[in-house]
Every structure is written in C-alpha cells, then in structure tokens.
Chains A and B, each alone.
Chain A
Amino acid sequence: DTEVTQTPKHLVMGMTNKKSLKCEQHMGHRAMYWYKQKAKKPPELMFVYSYEKLSINESVPSRFSPECPNSSLLNLHLHALQPEDSALYLCASSQGGLAPDTQYFGPGTRLTVL
C-alpha cells in the first residue's frame, strides 16, 4: 500500500479564519513533507519532518504552522492567510533515514482564500 491521504479535498476560507489541513500515511515512513503548488507550476517544498522533528523550513511565512503529532500524521495549521496563498497543498512521505528516498504524494487539498 503506497497511499497518502489528505483531508479535506477542498477548503475555502476567509483571511481571518483558522483552519487545518491533515495528512496521513500508514506505510511506516519516517519523513513527511508539505508542498505548495500553484497552477501550471511544479510543487514548491515548504516543510520536511524527519522522525517527527522539523528538519527543513523553506522560509515559509509564519501564517503556515506545521505539526507532526506522530509518525503517521502531519498537519498544516493555517491562520490569517492571504489570497495569494490559494493553491494546491500536497503532502508526501518517504522512508526517511539513509535509504534512497522515494516520495509518495497524496491527492492534495485545493485551498481558496477569499
């Protein structure tokens, strides 16, 4: 099973709202990733968690706050977003450690900020 699930599929929020995106995998992977993808562009890496610790933050604004409560679950908390934050948010996971690392992606959450 190489499935990564993401909820919700779609999210519409106002600039003053607080919401969260959720990502889950049950492949025993120890690395998890958040990406942002704008239309007709490749995904841009936002955060990497390795063994539940934040290992990479690609200078993402603080209105995006990641959380990794356990090895299977990754959240992205959203607060005071801007309309330009509207995008497809993709989660991925990989084995982690020192193995050649293949990422498996979820279907994404389509976020619209009004």
Chain B
Amino acid sequence: AQSVTQLDSHVSVSEGTPVLLRCNYSSSYSPSLFWYVQHPNKGLQLLLKYTSAATLVKGINGFEAEFKKSETSFHLTKPSAHMSDAAEYFCVVRAGYSSASKIIFGSGTRLSIRP
C-alpha cells in the first residue's frame, strides 16, 4: 500500500530565509516521488522528481529535495525564499513504472512568504 503525508498544511517564512516543506511516504514498492507547485488558479508545475537515481535531486527555481529511504522522507528545501514562491506545494508518490500505477497526492502545503 502507498501513502504520502505532508506534515504541515501551512508554512510561513520571511523573504530571503530558508524553506523546508516536509513529506513522508510509505510504499510497498520502490517509489517514484515528485514535488509539484500550484499557483492560485493555475495548473500544477513539476518542480522535481526522484526515480531511483541520485538521492539529492535538484529542481527548478532553486528547489531541491533529498530522498532518505531510512526515514521514508522526501523533504523539499530552498536556501532563500522569494515572494514568487508563495503557492501550494504537493508531494506525490507513484509506485511502479506505468501509466496504470497508483498515483497518490499529499494533502498539500501552502507556503506564504512574509516581506
């Protein structure tokens, strides 16, 4: 069985400070893991993905995430927040390698940036 838990429904940071959005997963199989960002009234944009290659994954806009199997975590980080990072972030787990494999979305984390 698969599941994904985003540990914070809302995170607020000051502009220029680090961002940490937490995601824990469980999966019976070797999973693929993704982070997506959604700005208000927009579709989802892929930030980065882990698919069993390097455990530290770099994405767009300065984001990165580290896959830690022992902790079953895939936390998203960014060294310095920008106002344009304010959005909803979804962690997604997918086990298997086909379009029919189960896709599980986390409940989302809303990131707010204080000036």
**Interface, chain A (partner B; CB < 8 A):** 2, 4, 6, 30-31, 40-43, 45, 48, 50, 55-56, 88, 90, 92, 94, 96-108, 110
Contacts and interface: CB of A to CB of B under 8 A. Distances in A.
A105 B99 contact: no
A23 to B, nearest CB: 11
A31 B3 CA distance: 23
Contacts, number: 68
> Dominant SS at the B interface?
loop
Range class of the B interface residue count: 20 to 34
B106 A105 contact: no
B85 to A, nearest CB: 18
A25 B32 CA distance: 23
Given A42-B105, A96-B99, A102 B34 contact: yes
Given A42-B107, A43-B44, A107-B43, A55 B100 contact: yes
A96 B44 contact: no
Interface of B: 32, 34, 36, 41-46, 49, 51-52, 90, 94, 97-101, 103, 105-108
Contacts of B52: 100
Contacts of A97: 98-99
B97 A98 contact: yes
A94 B43 contact: no
B43 A101 contact: no
A110 B42 CA distance: 10
B98 A96 contact: yes
A90 B43 contact: yes
Contacts of B103: 45, 103
A30 B100 CA distance: 12
A4 B46 CA distance: 13
